Amino acid sequence: MFNNLAKEITIVMKMKTMMLTSKIELEEALESDVDEAYGCGTEQSKGKTERACVPETRQKKPKGING
């Protein structure tokens, strides 16, 4: 009985570790996607530009495209 309990605890601990690792990887991927979507790298934000970074989905489309 003790062996089964130890195995179950080991399995649960491994699953928690995998979930934590997946969560960290997901957060890093999302951060990377946000940086790419906004076009704001660390180098750009330290520069002299005062213009705010605007995601592509919110930029105004040139006239003639889709209406």
Is residue 39 within 8 A of residue 53, CB to CB? The reply is yes
Q: Give the distance, in angstroms, between the CA of residue 25 and the centroid of all CA atoms in the same chain.
A: 8
Residue type, 46: K
Q: Which pLDDT score is estimated for 48? A: 54
Q: Which pLDDT score is estimated for 32? A: 80
Half-sphere exposure of 65 (CA within 13 A, CB side): 4
pTM for the whole structure = 0.39
Who's near 39: CB < 8 A, 6+ residues apart?
Answer: 53
Mean pLDDT by 10 residues, the chain (67 residues): 89 93 88 66 52 56 58
Domain layout of the chain by residue ranges: 2-58
